[in-house]
Structure 1
């Protein structure tokens, strides 16, 4: 069951193209129109008013309940005062011009301009409540504001806003510089869990840079013979964003082996390829907001579909509002009726329930099975349930118990096949 082929061999028309690249582009436009959290950065406004920018930054609230640092100490008001002051709200003007930039490496988006983790429970180190998400390398972002210490930018990526380290974002001259670089037909997509550029002892900026599944990396058309005193033969020559001493966008060249798990252009959108991509992540560490170098449940779905060219919303509740072929699980359905719904659902569909998203992989023994990136499940112990931590990507029965003792399938609210 941990091999994609186990499920693929039972799927009819498994290699049929579900949607072409042109169809996926149109689908992404529908997502922008339907989901408020997803933006077309090319058409973003040139500036924000005082009220608009302030409201974006203040979407993140200081916790009202008692919170803890990693060492177990209670978070005091002076820390909150510091991060509020560093948010630099008094420097917001009546009119605030935006800037365009590109991430030069994978970076985190935080609730506040501070790297210190904050937890809701003493002793917890899994769920940093100030960690919002990660942002892949080579992603366009819009810089909306700068922190007081100038170490953080408040940015808008295509599907999220938050504070990112300024050292991870190169500032472009204008929008055209960003999209002239990104809008190329010559690119590879990372289809493995992670790949790295070749080591370059002459330039750390392009040496062993990590790219995660779904990252789109532009290629250099005019291939040089050597880079970093290494022959380019046997490698893709990739054109990478970097920054000069003032933080401005420049471009450099790096190498990625042709034997790495990458694909020239987007992966053809078939059911076999959806499952193949998902099963490459078996055993990968769960990370809330993509912490620990991992993914959480919704980014697991998002990055798999990114390899086909989809630009899905970040969070599960937002993804559930996407267009597509939708199947609803009403509250009154019995267990048998819920299982019956899967007569219609195709493997590779995303399954949603409050606070979680999974992928349907197929039926086995009359039971729907799922692959998901999840924190854990429950086992009955007398008249109570014990929580069993998992914290990884795994295939499970949909009858597995959630932490409150209810089977996953009985909490499903909808299934979406991302297709028209």
Structure 2
């Protein structure tokens, strides 16, 4: 039987501990899930919307968002404004993109069965980049992503891991890009099966089957076509069609923009089906020779899409974030999901706000209003910042980002895509909970390692406000 301390004695012991140690001991109720203070009500967007005094007040106008996006591309070196790339690419530029992505692996890596990946295999993968085949100069080539495409560190589908038994975080997985994303095709493997591509916010390897090559005008013009639909659900799929397999059940993730075709007769069948109960959209497809073409496709009118980006409001921030609640954590957008930085950027993208892909870039971007923390920042300063967090603020610690849900019960709460959480229980012992999903948690009690909290490791807070 566990012996419980009398409340007066426990209070005395806590009062004699340093401030940060006392704050690690949580008195929040512990439900069966083990996630502190989170019951069924807190797992609904309505609960958090109800805490907002003006849930429908616009935080940033469309013009302010466009100005913010322009500032991001102008000032943040992790972003790539494809329209401003030169007509020809030098070998130094292309080699720089490829080598900046990753160096050859220096530490042991393991496959899905926990077996060491032979050095010969790793060397073959690295050599497949064919750096010696990069021409001194080449015409800048453009393409569009035609399906949800994994972007990889090296030109391989081999999944590798840092430790035996760790089969979630594939160290060769970088991110994913969605249909309609423009890219520059900078290089290819000797067999042509892999392309090194530069998207607006990443540069990595992807299988050639994911890209259709077209003219500069056709590729860059696709994103400007009007009218359009914005995917506002976690993901939607085009209607099944056997007549056009390339556009059948295509996955479109939150924030994806697709042009709508308006020059078709209302009674004209599209891919063997009446379009009257669907939006007729235009998607890029890859022809047999790898070149770009476009095809009509259908999205059901009852699917979660909108005629424009959603207004940036408290209600929409909460509603959009909660559409991912419970989705499996997917490092680099693996598992048909997303990771912590992908989660926050996809939520904001549905409201038209662009963000860098990775936490390391998001948290330091010169384009964002933020408060930064250093080793000189005191625990008290960090706590003050935590209690000042507003809905929609991003909280960065090394390798992780959380989106603030605001203040409740005198402390900040967050929604984030997270592997797990640890916290000190009221008796001083440590609880560890496996989450591995988009989850709602309190911020203050969460431990970073054994003896410090997330708060103690905050690097920055980013605020999307005027």
TM-score bracket for this pair, using the shorter chain length: over 0.9
The 1-side partners of 2:431 and 2:169 are apart by 19
Which residue does 1:411 correspond to in 2? 457
Give the structure with higher Rg (CA): 2
CA deviation profile, 1:220-271 (whole Å, cap 9, x unmatched): 1213421122110110101010021111100001100111111111111112
CA 1:264–1:95 in 2, change beyond 3 Å: closer, same or farther? same
The 1-side partners of 2:281 and 2:218 are apart by 17
Q: Tell me, yes or no, if the aligned pair for 1:387 and 1:403 is still in contact at 8 Å.
A: no
In structure 1, the gaps of 5 or more residues are none
Q: Which moved more, 1:118-127 or 1:50-59?
A: 50-59
Which residue does 1:400 correspond to in 2? 445
CA deviation profile, 1:315-373 (whole Å, cap 9, x unmatched): 11211123333234565666665443355432011111111100000212111000000
The 1-side partners of 2:286 and 2:252 are apart by 18
1:162-311 residue pairs with structure 2 within 5 A? 162-172=204-214, 174-224=215-265, 225-311=268-354
Are positions 1:376 and 2:420 aligned together? yes
Choose which of 121, 143, 159 in structure 1 pairs with 2:201: 159
CA 1:419–1:403 in 2, change beyond 3 Å: closer, same or farther? closer
Q: Tell me, yes or no, if the aligned pair for 1:399 and 1:407 is still in contact at 8 Å.
A: yes
The 2-side partners of 1:411 and 1:81 are apart by 37
Alignment: residue pair count: 419
Which residue does 1:317 correspond to in 2? 360
Which residue does 2:75 correspond to in 1? 34
The 1-side partners of 2:351 and 2:235 are apart by 16
The 2-side partners of 1:290 and 1:384 are apart by 34
In structure 2, the gaps of 5 or more residues are 1-41
RMSD (Å), alpha carbons: 2.0
Give, in angstroms, the shift of residue 409 of structure 1: 2.6
The 1-side partners of 2:157 and 2:448 are apart by 30
Give, in angstroms, the shift of residue 80 of structure 1: 1.9
Q: Tell me, yes or no, if the aligned pair for 2:180 and 2:222 is still in contact at 8 Å.
A: no
Q: Tell me, yes or no, if the aligned pair for 1:347 and 1:362 is still in contact at 8 Å.
A: yes
1:72-151 residue pairs with structure 2 within 5 A? 72-151=114-193
Q: Give TM-score scaled by structure 2 length.
A: 0.86
Which residue does 2:103 correspond to in 1? 61
Which residue does 1:7 correspond to in 2? 48
Q: Secondary structure at the match of 1:58?
A: helix
The 2-side partners of 1:96 and 1:205 are apart by 30
Q: Secondary structure at the match of 1:82?
A: helix
Q: Give TM-score scaled by structure 1 length.
A: 0.95
Give, in angstroms, the shift of residue 33 of structure 1: 2.3
Q: Tell me, yes or no, if the aligned pair for 1:144 and 1:154 is still in contact at 8 Å.
A: yes
CA 1:379–1:342 in 2, change beyond 3 Å: closer, same or farther? closer
Which residue does 1:359 correspond to in 2? 403
Q: Tell me, yes or no, if the aligned pair for 1:50 and 1:94 is still in contact at 8 Å.
A: yes
Choose which of 382, 385, 395 in structure 2 pairs with 1:341: 385
Give, in angstroms, the shift of residue 9 of structure 1: 1.8
Q: Tell me, yes or no, if the aligned pair for 1:185 and 1:265 is still in contact at 8 Å.
A: no
CA deviation profile, 1:34-81 (whole Å, cap 9, x unmatched): 211101111112222222212221221121111111112211121122
